[in-house]
Amino acid sequence: MQDKYVFVTGGVLSGLGKGLVAASVGKFLQNQGLEVYPVKCDGYLNVDPGTMNPNEHGEVFVLKDGTEVDMDFGHYERFLGEEMTGEQNLTSGKIFQEVISKEREGKYLGETVQMIPHVTDQIKNKFKDDGVKIIEVGGTVGDIENMLYLEALRQLKKDYNVCHIHVTLVPYLDATGELKTKPTQHSVKELRETGLQPDIIVGRSEKELDDEIKEKIALFCDVKKEEVISNPDLDNIYNIPLKFLEQDMDRILQEKLDLEKKKVDLSNWKTITDNMKKDSVAKIAICGKYTGMDDTYASVEEALKHAAAHNGGSVEIEYLSTEDIDVSKLNRFDGVIIPGGFGSRGVQGKIDVARYCRENNLPLLGLCLGMQIMTIEYAEKKGIEATSEEFEMNGEEVIGLMPDQDGKKGGTMRLGDYEAEIEGKTEKVYGTGKVVERHRHRYEFKPEFYSELQDGNFIISGKNPGSGLAEFIELKDHPFYIGTQAHPEFKSSVENPAPLFDELIKASK
């Protein structure tokens, strides 16, 4: 099969959900039996996003290989149910670093090293995969940062089957009750200056684009009316592929990419997303620190939605800040999550939440820091004044850095996939004796406390086979009280919810 590419660019402003468009298109292609290979191209000079302030870009999403990436990868994985790698995230910093290293090693054999062709070739070399490549360029057309990516795409167009999707904003003016196409016209004009012409225009707007607006955009932007796709505000992001399907976007893609003409069938997907509209099956409290911030727990929230949908309905989620929590209010909830986090703030409240759930048989899932909190709480129950090395709190450090991490600044993060051999309820939940989950943490449940804390009720229900470190803990005498050092939320997808979330919902129902 000849190489096939889908380009996804954006105009007018950023934050229009290009990643969701890319993920939706990937879903169509996957549904017709094709392999897809999404690549996200970011303009910034950081070599990887791990060094950027997470609060600026929403949640830090962690891939199986430990690469820390932005939330778009979460969308790709949740829609496609496939795991990505760090290779699929390009940044200008990474590309330049590679080109300069090659130059220093004398690999260019005396040539003058230039933006074109050397940098653009370096970019194109990243697109070597057998699947249909979906290349999303971050930011908007016209950003200086993105010029080299767009140039690389332009060069690809003449040799391969390409479907270029341009996502723009179609603003709605309340005063006149009109949708405005001018920003889209300008954005396409700007795109053309780079030598690219879109095949499909996705118009993001508050309202549905009607035929007249589609006609107008088509006229000014040299696409057919059917190639203008309406992408209005929807109450659920998982309905976006369905919205596109209604407008026969699958057919247009097939045409442009010269693919077999096959109706995409998302009926299974629709059954799941329809459940998300139904009554709530459980009311879950997420008891954490940055509860004022949107997106901090995006993957936890999505994992809950996937799990609830598989249990026939939606989920009601409430965020409670543990800095000022009255735990007696938790009796309004069917289940609780203590999510991951860093630092001392709100820690006492989290310990109180764990105690309340333990004593009142309220289902609790502890994620990463959540598991550490559950361990500290249980140690306290056993008469140890317990704490973590991370907290500004007196006591015995039941949670701390491992000796091999000492000396390094702040310890190194344990990132990405680690295996665990599991037993007890944890094993029942997963239905297997071995699991691999993703990690992002520094501190560990210290092995010198393992025997002291385990008493037949509290058990370490999962250990890493190599290091012997605790990966899961659970209580035997409790309907659902499981903590994990991992972040199972990162592996949850619409069609395949994370087992621990599924079980939390079942226990809460």
In the complex, the residues that contact ligand GLN under the rule CB under 6 A are 340-342, 368-369, 390, 440-443
Best CA proximity match to 493, nearest among 268, 287, 290: 268
Q: What is the DSSP string of 122-139?
A: HHHGGG--SSEEEEEEPS
Q: What gap in Å lies between CA 491 and CA 268, rounded to an integer?
A: 20
Minimum distance, C-beta of residue 54 to ligand GLN, in the bound complex (Å): 11
Residue by residue, what is the 3-state secondary structure of 160-189?
Answer: CEEEEEEEEECCEECCCCEECCHHHHHHHH
Minimum distance, C-beta of residue 483 to ligand GLN, in the bound complex (Å): 11
Question: Which distant-in-sequence residues (6+ apart) come within 8 Å of 487 by Cβ?
Answer: 62, 299, 340, 367, 368, 437, 438, 439, 440
Minimum distance, C-beta of residue 245 to ligand GLN, in the bound complex (Å): 37
Minimum distance, C-beta of residue 340 to ligand GLN, in the bound complex (Å): 3
Do residues 405 and 485 make contact, with C-beta atoms less than 8 angstroms apart? no
In order of 70, 153, 162, 258, the CA distances from 3 in angstroms are 27, 13, 9, 11
Minimum distance, C-beta of residue 441 to ligand GLN, in the bound complex (Å): 3
Report cis status (omega within 30 of 0) of the bond before 117.
Answer: yes
Q: What gap in Å lies between CA 289 and CA 341, rounded to an integer?
A: 7
Best CA proximity match to 357, nearest among 503, 482, 506: 482
The residue (of 18 and 441) whose beta carbon lies closer to ligand GLN is 441
Q: What gap in Å lies between CA 345 and CA 451, rounded to an integer?
A: 29
The residue (of 281 and 338) whose beta carbon lies closer to ligand GLN is 338
Q: What gap in Å lies between CA 46 and CA 48, rounded to an integer?
A: 5
Minimum distance, C-beta of residue 81 to ligand GLN, in the bound complex (Å): 24
Q: What gap in Å lies between CA 445 and CA 486, rounded to an integer?
A: 12
Residue by residue, what is the 3-state secondary structure of 55-107?
Answer: HHCCCCEECCCCCEECHHHHHHHHHHCCCCCHHHEEEHHHHHHHHHHHHHCCC
Name the residue whose CB lies closest to ligand GLN. 340
Q: Which residues in 302-375 belong to E strands, given as ranges?
A: 314-321, 335-338, 364-367
The residue (of 311 and 485) whose beta carbon lies closer to ligand GLN is 485
The residue (of 96 and 342) whose beta carbon lies closer to ligand GLN is 342
The residue (of 38 and 74) whose beta carbon lies closer to ligand GLN is 74
Minimum distance, C-beta of residue 142 to ligand GLN, in the bound complex (Å): 37
Residues known to be catalytic: 368, 487, 489
Question: Which distant-in-sequence residues (6+ apart) come within 8 Å of 96 by Cβ?
Answer: 45, 119
**How many angstroms separate the first and last alpha carbons of the chain?**
48
The residue (of 134 and 351) whose beta carbon lies closer to ligand GLN is 351
Do residues 465 and 481 make contact, with C-beta atoms less than 8 angstroms apart? no
Helix crossing, 347-359 with 369-381: angle to 10°? 70
Minimum distance, C-beta of residue 430 to ligand GLN, in the bound complex (Å): 20
Q: What gap in Å lies between CA 52 and CA 36, rounded to an integer?
A: 28
The residue (of 248 and 396) whose beta carbon lies closer to ligand GLN is 396
The residue (of 350 and 478) whose beta carbon lies closer to ligand GLN is 350
